[in-house]
Chains A and B, each alone.
Chain A
């Protein structure tokens, strides 16, 4: 493996938490809910997943706990915005504040704790037979840990769900035109709840990847703004799962660029300036996406508009 493949393989790893969070937010937005609480749900997932991992030593239980924590955050949001019809933007922001406070409070005693060896061993990179030996691609994509592979699987499943199943089409109908979906006897609120909760669970898993595998230890504010980048990545991906995959790994690469370049001899630019890059690129990409005004690239028509059957 040369240095470029090492870098790209590391970009995939760094992009994995972004991928989970982006897919989660994408699914949420597909039913017309703009949940800006991604950062909060990721933090809740990361701290609860870490705690569960620490106390049980079981990686699967840790992942389940993280998903439940993320879904719990999404449940608060869903109840407020779907049942009580509150403003989606403010509810999402509050969820982020809640998740941040929750994780620092619960995580106070965990600072400095390291992921147990049993879990570390479970998440060691495994080379997949046959495709793992394809030069270049095999090294980058198929010599990774189980969590990364789960990311691929979920992307494919989400794609099939949204575009190839009746339930998925219903989901998108709810996001595009809830009144029409309601008239077609689709249970709008049930779809909104289920998809928002699954979305939250995915965000929680993204957070857990950071604390359990990526760092792998508990540190406060472990997400460092990744949740917000995920919200932007959904726009970058123009609400399509396979593009979310590309976007997440691209940003994973940007994320580690500063650190990697620092080691090169004769490299003069400050690491702190390179750390700016992901955020600047996010803005640039948003502008480029918003400049191209194709309808197929636009958000679900019902996004961030609460649906009241009585007010149709």
Chain B
């Protein structure tokens, strides 16, 4: 006889232990899957670590990959805190990058500092307004935001593809369909060998952490996420709070887009987001929507991505393995949350009968 009892509360260490156990279990299951497709799981795991942290070059690459993940996850976490399922991070990154590219291509010879500032402002507006579409539709007519943000992803991606083959096509690229590269002035400079996006990311982590934990607006967002009715009785302006939060959510994704296009790809294309918008959803959830934990989780996921491209060359495992690993880890962590919320009591049939007799 199994009895499920709700836990009243759970200590942080127990919670951490359960999550770690879940991750270990997921690696075990993955290992079995790797054995099935006749690969040595230990080789693969060692390869993953080697490819992501094995040399100073690979550490650099891992951190470069972590920057957009951190910033996008911050954005997603604000929306999720409000139980607004923004899965449009990918599109918001692309629209941020698009807005920045507009100015980068228009004023390629402007001084670096003012040009970058304009590009960041444009990116914030681009990403924020793109997300706001879904928020306004939800605010007015209660339209399902999951689907709308997702459709907006596809629209953003196809729009950039259209620009790439149409109006923004580089005439000097010998007929190759691409959007022109950024000028040196429009490129984000490096600090300690990594583009200065990492400084922006750290600043944003601190700002978002303070905003969500210690300001009135941040508190209102979490109340709204817990219960719309409570928020209403507390006199929180629901629509206004939602619009602000979602604009911020999209704006952060937009910033990630500006950094990607200006420092990493250096030309706008549909691949500028490269799945960061989706990975960020997982990171935000795994980190329990907490800004400091997001940093650690993002670096680990970036390592997974970087390691996956290494094992692709080393073992010929398709890069999609990274996606599979992410998903399996998340499945286990999602499942483990049950054990943080509930306790399972096993009772033997005989004992139970005795108890019944006593009643």
A57-65, A200-208, A267-275 - interface stretch:
A267-275
- Confirm or deny: A228 has a beta carbon within 8 angstroms of a beta carbon on chain B: yes
Residue-wise, chain A 285-312 has the 8 Å CB interface mask toward B (1 for contact) of 0110011000000000000000000110
User: In the complex, what residues of B have CB within 8 A of residue A98's CB?
Assistant: 323-324, 327-328, 331
Could you tell me if B159 and A276 are in contact, using CB atoms closer than 8 angstroms?
yes
- Confirm or deny: B229 has a beta carbon within 8 angstroms of a beta carbon on chain A: no
A233 and B43 CA atoms in complex are apart in Å by: 45
Residue-wise, chain A 79-98 has the 8 Å CB interface mask toward B (1 for contact) of 11000111101110111011
State the Cβ distance, A235 to closest chain B Cβ, in Å: 6
- Confirm or deny: B10 has a beta carbon within 8 angstroms of a beta carbon on chain A: no
- Confirm or deny: A152 has a beta carbon within 8 angstroms of a beta carbon on chain B: no
Question: Out of B6, B159, B321, which one reaches A105, CB within 8 Å?
Answer: B321
State the Cβ distance, B68 to closest chain A Cβ, in Å: 17
State the Cβ distance, B337 to closest chain A Cβ, in Å: 6
B144, B281, B285, B325: residue with the most chain A Cβ atoms closer than 10 Å: B144
A87 and B278 CA atoms in complex are apart in Å by: 17
A101-B323, A279-B151, A287-B141 known; A93+B87 contact, CB < 8 A:
yes
Could you tell me if B323 and A86 are in contact, using CB atoms closer than 8 angstroms?
no
Among residues of B, the one whose C-beta sits closest to the C-beta of A94 is B330
- Confirm or deny: B303 has a beta carbon within 8 angstroms of a beta carbon on chain A: no
Give the size range of A's interface with the partner. Answer: 35 or more
Could you tell me if B318 and A282 are in contact, using CB atoms closer than 8 angstroms?
no
A162 and B317 CA atoms in complex are apart in Å by: 45
Could you tell me if A86 and B154 are in contact, using CB atoms closer than 8 angstroms?
no
Could you tell me if B318 and A272 are in contact, using CB atoms closer than 8 angstroms?
no
A40 and B4 CA atoms in complex are apart in Å by: 31
Among residues of A, the one whose C-beta sits closest to the C-beta of B87 is A93
- Confirm or deny: B23 has a beta carbon within 8 angstroms of a beta carbon on chain A: no
- Confirm or deny: B320 has a beta carbon within 8 angstroms of a beta carbon on chain A: yes
B6, B87, B142, B143: residue with the most chain A Cβ atoms closer than 10 Å: B143
Could you tell me if A287 and B137 are in contact, using CB atoms closer than 8 angstroms?
yes
- Confirm or deny: A231 has a beta carbon within 8 angstroms of a beta carbon on chain B: yes
Could you tell me if A101 and B166 are in contact, using CB atoms closer than 8 angstroms?
no
User: In the complex, what residues of A have CB within 8 A of residue B278's CB?
Assistant: 93, 97
Secondary structure of the A side of the interface?
A: helix
Among residues of A, the one whose C-beta sits closest to the C-beta of B147 is A232
Could you tell me if B146 and A36 are in contact, using CB atoms closer than 8 angstroms?
yes
Using a CB-CB cutoff of 8 Å, which residues 131-180 of chain A contact chain B?
none
Could you tell me if B143 and A270 are in contact, using CB atoms closer than 8 angstroms?
no
Could you tell me if B150 and A228 are in contact, using CB atoms closer than 8 angstroms?
yes
Question: Out of A80, A100, A310, which one reaches B334, CB within 8 Å?
Answer: A80
Question: Out of B147, B165, B281, B335, which one reaches A272, CB within 8 Å?
Answer: B165
Could you tell me if B151 and A310 are in contact, using CB atoms closer than 8 angstroms?
no
Question: Out of B85, B154, B323, B337, which one reaches A100, CB within 8 Å?
Answer: B323
A89 and B86 CA atoms in complex are apart in Å by: 11
- Confirm or deny: A215 has a beta carbon within 8 angstroms of a beta carbon on chain B: no
Could you tell me if A235 and B327 are in contact, using CB atoms closer than 8 angstroms?
no
State the Cβ distance, A279 to closest chain B Cβ, in Å: 4
User: In the complex, what residues of A have CB within 8 A of residue B57's CB?
Assistant: none
A86-B334, A89-B85 known; A272+B285 contact, CB < 8 A:
no
Among residues of A, the one whose C-beta sits closest to the C-beta of B341 is A85
A86 and B323 CA atoms in complex are apart in Å by: 20
Using a CB-CB cutoff of 8 Å, which residues 1-23 of chain B contact chain A?
4-6
Among residues of B, the one whose C-beta sits closest to the C-beta of A228 is B150
A98-B327, A310-B6 known; A80+B335 contact, CB < 8 A:
yes
- Confirm or deny: B211 has a beta carbon within 8 angstroms of a beta carbon on chain A: no
- Confirm or deny: B237 has a beta carbon within 8 angstroms of a beta carbon on chain A: no
Using a CB-CB cutoff of 8 Å, which residues 223-270 of chain A contact chain B?
225, 228, 231-232, 235, 270
Could you tell me if A76 and B331 are in contact, using CB atoms closer than 8 angstroms?
yes
- Confirm or deny: A104 has a beta carbon within 8 angstroms of a beta carbon on chain B: yes
Could you tell me if B334 and A91 are in contact, using CB atoms closer than 8 angstroms?
yes
- Confirm or deny: A283 has a beta carbon within 8 angstroms of a beta carbon on chain B: yes
Could you tell me if A272 and B334 are in contact, using CB atoms closer than 8 angstroms?
no
A272 and B142 CA atoms in complex are apart in Å by: 30
A219 and B327 CA atoms in complex are apart in Å by: 22
User: In the complex, what residues of B have CB within 8 A of residue A310's CB?
Assistant: 4-6
Could you tell me if B147 and A276 are in contact, using CB atoms closer than 8 angstroms?
no
7 cross-chain CB contacts under 8 A: A80-B331, A90-B285, A94-B330, A94-B334, A101-B320, A272-B161, A283-B152
- Not counting A87-B334, A275-B158, A279-B155, a sample of 19 additional A-B residue pairs whose C-beta atoms are within 8 angstroms of each other reads A85-B342, A86-B338, A90-B285, A93-B278, A94-B282, A98-B328, A98-B331, A100-B320, A101-B327, A108-B318, A232-B144, A232-B151, A270-B162, A273-B158, A276-B159, A282-B151, A283-B137, A290-B137, A290-B143
Chain B residues close to A by CB (< 8 Å): 4-6, 85, 87, 137, 141-144, 146-148, 150-152, 154-155, 158-159, 161-162, 165-166, 278, 281-282, 285, 317-318, 320-328, 330-331, 334-335, 337-338, 341-342
